[in-house]
Chain A
Amino acid sequence: MPVDAEKEINKMWRTLHSTQNEIGKTYYRWRQVAIEFAGEDTKPLDVALRAAEVFGKDIGKSFLPRMNWLKGEEGFLMILARSLAGLWNTEGGLASVEKGENPGELFIKCSRDPWPTWAKEYGAPMEEIALCRERMYQAILEDVSLFMNVSLKIELQKAISRGEGETIMKLSKTE
């Protein structure tokens, strides 16, 4: 039976999007459970930020085998920034990396982000998304910085929390 390419691609695409959607929703389901267990005295934002930190710490470890200095400092930072953008893309975002004006400065720009849609569905505040993204990336960089013996910083520059426009983060090396 000949292959109908459109049909096959459509099938894979639908599977991918369903998977991303289900993972995003599962995060918020777990968030609800964690907030419930944390009790009324704990702010939901603190729970979410702690989760972002734990995620980031673990993801950071998986970055280490790919990190190296063989392509120089600029190359290393580019690989790192692309890995951070790639992570966002895996979740269903559309992120890319642009060089900054100064050496050792890169911008990760995300022009499409599925997280606000899920957050809205589960009643999570929009500002939490950008703050969690920043905290997760910071946690990723902790082990990377230690491993490579370099001080790295990531800062949220701009967040469009409804998923429109661009969310921008700056990755830089500090002295």
Chain B
Amino acid sequence: MAKTLFEWDYSDYPGAKTYPHLFKPIQIGNLIIPNRIKYAATEDNLNGHDGFVTDAGVEYMRQRAIGVVGGLCFMQGVYMDEKRQGQGYVGQAAAWDDKFIPGLKRIADAIHEQKAVAGYQLMDCGRVGAVETDYCHGPSAVPQRLRIFKPVQEMTKDDIKVMIQQHIDAARRGIEAGFDIVEISGIVGYLISNFVSSYTNRRTDEYGGDIRGRMQATVEIIQGVKEVCGPDIPVGIRLCSEELLDDVRGNTPEESMETYKIAEEAGADYISCTLGWQESIYPVISRDIPMGNWIHLAKRAKEHVNIPIQMAYRLFKPGLPNEKIGAGELDIWEMCRSMIADPHMPKKVAEGREAEIRHCVACNLCLARLFRDAPMTCYINPVCAHEWQEEFANPKPAEEEKEVMIVGAGPAGLECAYTAARRGHDVHVYDKRDVIGGTLNEAKSAPYGDDELWTCVEYQQAMCEQAGVTFHLGTEVTDDLIEDEMPDTVVLATGPVYAKIEAPGGDSEKIVNLLDVMSGKAEVGETIVIYGNRKPGIGCALHLAKQGKKVTIVGKEKSAGFDVNPSFKWRYMIYMRQNGITVYNDCDIEEVTDEGIIAKTYDGVRWPIKCDTLVISDRGPNESLKKAVQSEGIELFVIGDALIPRNLSSAVHDGYRVGIRL
């Protein structure tokens, strides 16, 4: 008899009418899930380095539980061995002993308080584990492709038996902690996937060989965990539908589908369809991959098994999953990064508040942080991982209402504006442009998905409207205007100042500004040099290269795109190569000549580069208006690129941090 844990009626939710398939129940094992929404287990590095759950971790999960409006909410995968070989993240939760149960219970309770279904995941990180030890473990000692991972020790048969038992014991602890559903992680290079893949499993015993042999450990884990869970607690598994490891002779797609069938035979109640490994040479989830690019894999999975199929992977908006669920090609819409960016995202969908969603921009900063032992953070959501800090997550109303003048309607100014207005301040945003968005108006024109960055401005606009922010667009703020208005506080979010070429020829007519190029205002030649090797320069270079221009980047940073997080930077490096862009790092411009420029390395080597147009993308802080504000004795804040030119994330985070302090 199937069981319903919490009753949910979505008939009054407008989103349930727009996306009816997302808000209909589904049975998994003997459990009825009220809707088709799942926050998928995601590492957050918020737990103690000893594996105990922290307040930060609990509050992080509580917000996601609110977001799933009665659906599935999974805590991060727990590691299960005392030796910590399976631990892949410094702040990963542990479950290798009963002493961890009270902490785990706090998470299960926090999810239940929101009437959501509490999911618990078992995750031995295998060859990407051992974050605190010298060796990780795996079916075979296949060397690591990436140096950041530890050497692999081949597991003996006894080790495998112990590992299987660890899964079973950890599952029992999860059930005792109160979780409703158990999931086994077999993705992206973690231990289960190491056993399953022909790339990493070279064993010749019963745990290796053909695909059935390579699935044997997984089968024993599923069966053991099923036994301890009993009939009322469903057991699912996350498995690769395509490893994308053909360069190292990993599993074929056919073999991957065979793993799905074997998992179903072993008793899995659902499969979460994933793809790619951390070692794959193909991108899977970054912004350059179109939305919905992988959804066909869910359909294929459904053609091979009869249990529910769940999937995430570039499904940031509700329309497509709703359509695919309706067509019977998907059963549950999973989310990770989209609910890192906005924990209440599906709730807003249900409530018909889609304009209020802060969309993930698929930059992968969250992943980059985790791999570098830093706590979770989000490029676009300043509150992420601070949910437990009340004064940060839910700042109090201002003690004294102030008239706040924000100069600049870019992402920094807008973020600050609505944050301050919500707290009761009278906020006025000025911009000399007729439109909001600042330099993002131009930046969004860069190829490979940068148009998605604009969702940030759309969200901020909606928030500003809701908070009652007053806009003065097409109004340039001058010293006189400040003197006339005499606000209590001025926030300068004016954006950067573009560099001037101080070298001879710096007044050449061939010099144009990046913003004019990106907006199409400036005419450019066929051969172009871009000065500045940070992200804006790269975006502009790709934009021009796509038009067939011959582009060279010359920049002072030691490596191009050093301001781009490493989980995305490799994509730019490949695209620059593919588009024939030449990059000279550690260089400056010594002279602008009639033919082009003379570049000079840090150690004095000089050479000419021909160009018709020289685009300036290098930026500096904006000092304008500071003196005027200070001379009037007005409280002053400088944020975003006006303070130090950085990136969209810094603009948003600056804006929020100042907004809660005013």
Q: B-contacting residues of A (Cβ < 8 Å)?
A: 1, 3, 5, 8, 11-12, 15, 61-62, 64-65, 67-70, 143, 146-149
Q: Is the CB of A61 within 8 A of B147?
A: yes
Most buried by A among B143, B146, B249, B603: B143
Q: Is the CB of B248 within 8 A of A148?
A: yes
Q: Which residues of B contact A5 (CB under 8 A)?
A: 607
Q: Report the minimal beta-carbon distance from A57 to chain B, rounded to whole angstroms.
A: 10
Interface residues of B in 130-188 (CB under 8 A from A): 141-147
Q: Which residues of B contact A11 (CB under 8 A)?
A: 604-605
Q: Is the CB of B591 within 8 A of A1?
A: yes
Q: Which residues of A contact B147 (CB under 8 A)?
A: 61-62
Q: Which residues of A contact B607 (CB under 8 A)?
A: 3, 5, 8
The verdict on A69 contacting B145 (CB below 8 Å), with A3-B606, A11-B605 known, is: no
Interface SS, B side: loop
Q: Which residues of A contact B608 (CB under 8 A)?
A: 3
Q: Is the CB of A143 within 8 A of B143?
A: yes
Q: A-contacting residues of B (Cβ < 8 Å)?
A: 141-147, 202, 246-249, 281, 591, 598, 603-608
The verdict on A70 contacting B246 (CB below 8 Å), with A143-B143, A146-B142, A147-B142 known, is: yes
Most buried by B among A12, A64, A67, A70: A64
Taken together as a complex, chains A and B put the C-alpha atoms of A79 and B638 apart, in Å, by 52
Extra 4 A-B pairs, beta carbons < 8 Å, given A8-B606, A146-B143, A149-B142? A64-B144, A67-B248, A69-B248, A149-B249
Taken together as a complex, chains A and B put the C-alpha atoms of A65 and B247 apart, in Å, by 10
Nearest 7 Cβ contacts at the A-B interface: A68-B247, A143-B143, A147-B143, A64-B145, A70-B247, A3-B608, A3-B606
Taken together as a complex, chains A and B put the C-alpha atoms of A143 and B143 apart, in Å, by 6
Q: Report the minimal beta-carbon distance from A149 to chain B, rounded to whole angstroms.
A: 6
Q: Which residues of B contact A65 (CB under 8 A)?
A: 145-146
Q: Which residues of B contact A1 (CB under 8 A)?
A: 591, 598
Taken together as a complex, chains A and B put the C-alpha atoms of A64 and B151 apart, in Å, by 13
Q: Which residues of A contact B605 (CB under 8 A)?
A: 8, 11-12
Taken together as a complex, chains A and B put the C-alpha atoms of A147 and B598 apart, in Å, by 45
Taken together as a complex, chains A and B put the C-alpha atoms of A60 and B281 apart, in Å, by 19
Q: Which residues of B contact A70 (CB under 8 A)?
A: 246-247
Q: Report the minimal beta-carbon distance from A76 to chain B, rounded to whole angstroms.
A: 10
Taken together as a complex, chains A and B put the C-alpha atoms of A8 and B143 apart, in Å, by 43
Taken together as a complex, chains A and B put the C-alpha atoms of A89 and B485 apart, in Å, by 69
> Looking across the interface, which residue of chain B has its beta carbon closest to that of A62?
B147
7 chain-A/chain-B pairs, Cβ below 8 angstroms? A8-B607, A11-B604, A61-B143, A62-B147, A64-B145, A69-B246, A149-B249
> Looking across the interface, which residue of chain A has its beta carbon closest to that of B141?
A146
Q: Is the CB of B143 within 8 A of A69?
A: no
Q: Report the minimal beta-carbon distance from A151 to chain B, rounded to whole angstroms.
A: 12
Taken together as a complex, chains A and B put the C-alpha atoms of A15 and B601 apart, in Å, by 13
> Looking across the interface, which residue of chain A has its beta carbon closest to that of B247?
A68
Q: Is the CB of A147 within 8 A of B247?
A: no
The verdict on A69 contacting B142 (CB below 8 Å), with A3-B607, A8-B605, A12-B605 known, is: no
> Looking across the interface, which residue of chain A has its beta carbon closest to that of B146?
A65
Taken together as a complex, chains A and B put the C-alpha atoms of A68 and B281 apart, in Å, by 10
Taken together as a complex, chains A and B put the C-alpha atoms of A8 and B605 apart, in Å, by 6
Q: Report the minimal beta-carbon distance from A83 to chain B, rounded to whole angstroms.
A: 15
Q: Report the minimal beta-carbon distance from A64 to chain B, rounded to whole angstroms.
A: 5
The verdict on A69 contacting B202 (CB below 8 Å), with A3-B598, A64-B143 known, is: no
Q: Which residues of B contact A62 (CB under 8 A)?
A: 147
> Looking across the interface, which residue of chain B has its beta carbon closest to that of A11?
B605
> Which one, B144, B249, B604, contacts A69 given CB within 8 A?
B249
Q: Report the minimal beta-carbon distance from B288 to chain A, rounded to whole angstroms.
A: 20
Q: Report the minimal beta-carbon distance from B531 to chain A, rounded to whole angstroms.
A: 18
Q: Which residues of B contact A147 (CB under 8 A)?
A: 142-143, 145, 248
Q: Which residues of B contact A68 (CB under 8 A)?
A: 247-248, 281
Q: Which residues of A contact B141 (CB under 8 A)?
A: 146
> Looking across the interface, which residue of chain B has its beta carbon closest to that of A149?
B202
